[in-house]
Amino acid sequence: MSAPSHTATPGTTSTGSDAPRQPVFVTTHWSLVLSARDKNSPQSADALEKLCRAYWYPLYAYVRRTGQSKENAEDLTQAFFARLLEKNFLEAAEPERGRFRSFLLIALKRFLANEWDRVRAQKRGGGQTHVPLDTELAERKFKAETTAGEISPDRLYDRRWALTLLEQTMARLRAEFEPAGKTGEFDRLKTFLTADKREIPCPAVAVELGMSESTLRVAVHRLRKRYRELFREEIAHTLAEGEDIDEELRHLLTVLSK
């Protein structure tokens, strides 16, 4: 899979200015969780829940790949998040470990080793649901990814983590076209995000979108630029302050290329 490239400005059209942007997140979601984990901070709790809502599927896929049924995987994932969202659960999280991706998987493995019997003994559905799990969609993704060949739980987890980041990036990018009523333009241009410039049929697409060929090329360039920016922001959300975004980016692209 090609590296994320390119993009446009939030809330601007393809003909808008290419003005420099200020970083959106001075403190990332995960840095906020780590810095306030011992203070019962509402901001920390909200940030953690947001991260959990975004990244539940890689964990669900991991549990399924270990051999658990759909029902057991749902129960275990929900029980894990319920425990994770408890006030004192994050006291063992060390900022130097850095990556939310790594912390979650280590915590999940420990949870599965210690808590499976307790979760199984509980009445299904009796606890509070902290994170809504769309398990029907999750099962379709899981079956599509595991029928093509053998893949270890750890590798599947990392791959789904990377794809989730890309999905969130695309959703944010599309949302930036909505205020100007240009989602149709985005849907047409997004196919060129990772295409070679020589593969873009500029004259035909320009006519289709009612713009000149030069304007189209500028629009694609800005879209790719914004795509890169947003992807890096999404990665930053999952890292502690000071962690190397480029290192995590290289890891995720390696995972996706296998």
Q: What is the pLDDT of residues 240-258, one digit of tens each?
A: 877 889 999 999 999 998 7
Is 8 a residue whose pLDDT tops 60? no
Q: Where are the alpha helices (DSSP H) in the chain?
A: 29-36, 42-65, 70-84, 100-121, 135-146, 153-175, 183-189, 202-209, 213-237, 245-257
First-last CA distance in the chain: 9
Amino acid found at 84:
L
Q: What is the pLDDT of residue 37?
A: 59
CA atoms of 80 and 60, how far apart (whole Å):
10
Sorted by sequence, the CB contacts under 8 Å of residue 24 that are 6+ apart come out as: 233
Residue 83 tokens read as: 């425990």
Amino acid found at 203:
P
Under 8 Å between Cβ of 173 and 194:
no
Q: What is the pLDDT of residue 16?
A: 40
Instruction: Give how far Cα 228 sits from Cα of 99, 242, 249, Å.
Output: 20, 19, 11
Residue 112 falls inside a structural domain: yes
Residue 12 falls inside a structural domain: no
Residue 6 falls inside a structural domain: no
Amino acid found at 193:
L
CA atoms of 72 and 249, how far apart (whole Å):
32
Under 8 Å between Cβ of 140 and 84:
no
Which domain does 199 fall in, by range? Answer: 29-257
Task: Count CB-CB contacts under 10 A for residue 239.
Answer: 20
Under 8 Å between Cβ of 173 and 186:
yes
With 0-12 CB in 10 A as exposed, 13-18 as middle and 19+ as buried, what is 162? buried
CA atoms of 45 and 214, how far apart (whole Å):
47
State how many domains the chain has: 1
Residue 17 falls inside a structural domain: no
Under 8 Å between Cβ of 252 and 165:
yes
DSSP-assigned beta bridge partners for residue 179: none
Is 93 a residue whose pLDDT tops 70? no
Rank 139-148, 164-173, 182-191 by mean pLDDT and report only the highest: 164-173
CA atoms of 103 and 111, how far apart (whole Å):
12
Is 117 a residue whose pLDDT tops 70? no
Residue 216 falls inside a structural domain: yes
CA atoms of 53 and 46, how far apart (whole Å):
11
Residue 192 falls inside a structural domain: yes
Is 134 a residue whose pLDDT tops 50? yes
Share of the chain above pLDDT 70, in %: 71
Under 8 Å between Cβ of 51 and 237:
yes
Rank 73-82, 103-112, 209-218, 226-235 by mean pLDDT and report only the highest: 226-235
CA atoms of 257 and 255, how far apart (whole Å):
6
Rank 51-55, 61-65, 77-81, 117-121 by mean pLDDT and report only the highest: 61-65
DSSP-derived 3-state class of residue 239: strand
Residue 11 falls inside a structural domain: no
Residue 9 tokens read as: 């400005």
Residue 20 falls inside a structural domain: no
pLDDT digits (tens, 9 = 90+) for 182-213: 999 999 899 888 777 666 777 888 888 899 98
